[in-house]
Homo-oligomer: A and B are copies of this chain.
Amino acid sequence: MRWIAVFFATLALNAASAQVPSAPVRAIAPFCSPGGVVCVSVAIDGDGRASYSVSRLGAPVIAPSRLGFMLTDAPKIERGLAIMGSSERAFDETWEQPWGERRLVRNQYRELSVAFAEREGLQRRFAVVFRVYDDGLGFRYEVPAQDGLATARISAELTEFVIADPGEAWWIPALEWNREEYLYNRTAIDAVGLAQTPITFRTEDGLHLSLHEAALVDYAGMNLSRAEGQRFRAMLTPGVTAASVVRDTPFLTPWRTLQISDNAAGLAMSNLILNLNEPNALGDVSFFEPMTYVGIWWEMHLGQASWASGERHGATTERAIRAIDFAADNGFGGVLIEGWNVGWDGNWFGNGWDFSFTQAYPDFDLERVAARAQARGVQIIGHHETGGNAYHYERQMRDGFALYQRLGVHVVKTGYVADAGQAQGEGPDGAPTMIWHESQAMVRHQQRVVEEAFAHGIAVNPHEPVKDTGLRRTYPNLVSREGARGMEFNAWGQPGNPPEHEANLVFTRLLAGPMDFTPGIFGMQTSSPDGVATTWAKQLALYVVIYSPIQMAADLIESYEANPGPFQFIRDAPSDWEESLVLNGEVGDYVTIARQERGGADWYLGAITDENPRVLETPLSFLAPGRRYRAHIYADAPDAHWRDGRERIVISAREVTRADVLTLRLAPGGGQAIRFEALPGRIRGS
């Protein structure tokens, strides 16, 4: 038997006694974005279940999808609900990023807040707030303080997303919720497995969608479980108790976000996730300056040096000083030095108990290295690998950051290499317990790290991070993250990233925020069967295509010294932008992005393709009117190919104006990078 039976049977006989929660069917008419493009509707069914639906230009995008929560210590919040009221407001502002892919961001939306309450029993209350933009929407639950729900122990969110039209999806699996480093699946929407977000859809009529979340704070990360057909259910990352999330009321959930666009470029241009985050809560973060950096790093992945101590130890004083001098000589801002600290000699993977964040290995003179860096006007990029042991790290991070602060370090790369992390348990003993990478406990931990770092004038760049949900707006010292398969996958004795990988990233992972991908490799032969499966020109293009305010020149110094021609583009490319434009692109196939240097007149362009060659006609109308530019062009040679002609690059220069149209010829696995150097003077007559 089933509840509905009881409902109908009882209703038929005892309607008057209202023994079963019952609510009048009620709906809220479509509530639309400022431009009337995207609309959301809310309804209550005969059993008192709440649902929402989304349309764009009158066509359904999200079919009616349920709302609610399962709790570990009380009946679920789903049935017997009534709409108690609703309110609306409009908002429009333009705000400035301290650093970013664009300086000014417009945040214009209309907001609908719907208040729900149970009519019987615990009479619990919550609101769902929708912020509707012309390019999508976000909604979150607002749960007020109340007697019937002092503490919410959430075992599962019932939030659903029913994709209205069939189509394709690009997604990575949520396996042990351990990391984001998987290759992308491209399947039918109704063939998606248990997926992480962001997940990108293209419906049969060409509509592009991306489901993700914004402002993930003190909550568990959201994965998507496809129940049946195209019905996706929020699946929260497991917690340290039966509840994925434990929050005292009042509390807010993260925003569940849906970006909607006619084309792929529109997704990549959207500021929706950033806008749904709270404004800067820290204040001045000018201690952080966007930069390109080099490091003692790639040699470890190539197996030419080790993180661990010994004769092959990579992080020696001499190597560090050489890297600092190289950075200074080439105008780079920093040097990452991995393996400098004690703790790498055991099995640190998923363990991390041996790491010290203050004690250097004997062959690494931290003070001397720091002095040299300051003398040369270069920053050390600090490194805190934890092996996922947040518990151990939190007991040392203050000292670790204080040390770095004294040495003039303003950015630290953190790492959480593990299948499952470790954090303070809930038990009376508080012993460490295993936690998932995107559990509420790890979300809280990374928040504490960001705040502790800020207190020491330090920015953080987490690897194996909690996924990006736009928190850089609120905590602008959270400058970049990894959170996807990066360059190092091309170094190991296994299949690396395929030629389509970066064209997938732009329209999936990168919709969430900056990524420290670490491009710029010229030495293409590695232990990986295909080595680095791109052309040189594509490696250069990645400096424009993949946005990060802290961008690595990842190759060995020798590699750059041997190839000054293509290296010049890496020296020139800025890491901070006035504006960014996605000129064209298709998910997983190709993309062209143009960005204007922040505080400068130069523009930069990057175009990349997958395993297929492309010819892209590219109007330069983004260039300033009345100006002439010298285009420094780094293009694939006619016979370039990711498999057997990666180094074949043609470097040329020509003058252009915004009236020109460039024909970009990309080789298989290739790309093109262009610096548009603004020339003095104005065009006569303009």
Q: Which A residues have a C-beta under 8 Å from some C-beta of B?
A: 1-10, 12-14, 17, 19-21, 70-76, 78, 120-121, 155-156, 158, 173, 175-176, 179, 181, 185, 187-188, 190-191, 193-194, 225-228, 233, 238-242, 300-301, 303, 305-308, 310, 312, 345-351, 415, 417-420, 425, 431, 433-434, 463-464, 482, 486, 488-489, 491-494, 527
Choose among A4, A75, A488 the residue with the greatest number of B CB atoms under 10 Å from its CB: A75
User: Cβ of A13 and Cβ of B185 under 8 Å apart?
Assistant: no
* Interface-centre pick from A156, A190, A345, A434 (highest chain B CB count, 10 A): A434
Q: Which chain B residues lie closer than 8 Å to A75 at the CB level?
A: 350-351, 419-420, 434
Q: Which residue of B lies closest to A309 (CB)?
A: B14
Contact of A13 among B70, B181, B306 (CB under 8 A): B306
Residues B227 and A194 in contact, CB atoms below 8 Å apart: yes
Q: A187-B190, A242-B433 provided; 15 other pairs, C-beta below 8 A?
A: A1-B486, A5-B301, A5-B491, A8-B492, A8-B527, A9-B306, A10-B306, A14-B308, A20-B347, A73-B425, A193-B227, A225-B225, A239-B242, A240-B242, A241-B241
Cross-chain contact B308 with A350 (CB below 8 angstroms) = no
- Give 10 closest A-B pairs by Cβ, nearest first: A12-B303, A13-B306, A193-B226, A191-B191, A8-B492, A173-B227, A19-B347, A3-B349, A2-B181, A194-B225
Best-buried of A1, A13, A303 by chain B (most CB within 10 Å): A1
B residues within 8 A CB of A419? Answer: 3, 70, 75-76, 78
B434 A175 Cβ-Cβ under 8 A: no
- Contact (Cβ within 8 A) B242 A10: no
User: How many Å lie between the Cα of A436 and that of B513 in the bound state?
Assistant: 37
Q: Say which residue of B1, B21, B227, B240 sits within 8 Å of A488 (CB atoms).
A: B1
Given A13-B306, A241-B241; A345-B19 close (CB under 8 Å): yes
Given contacts A20-B349, A71-B434, contact A228 B193 (CB under 8 A): yes
Given A6-B417, A419-B75, A492-B5, answer yes or no on A226-B433 (Cβ-Cβ < 8 Å). Answer: no
Q: List 14 A-B contacts (CB under 8 A).
A: A2-B179, A2-B417, A2-B488, A2-B489, A5-B489, A6-B349, A6-B417, A10-B306, A70-B419, A70-B434, A75-B419, A121-B347, A155-B434, A194-B226
One complex includes copies of this chain to the number of 2
Q: Are B434 and A303 in contact (CB under 8 A)?
A: no
**Complex CA distance for A143 and B124, rounded to whole angstroms:** 44
- Least CB distance, A531 to chain B, in whole angstroms: 15
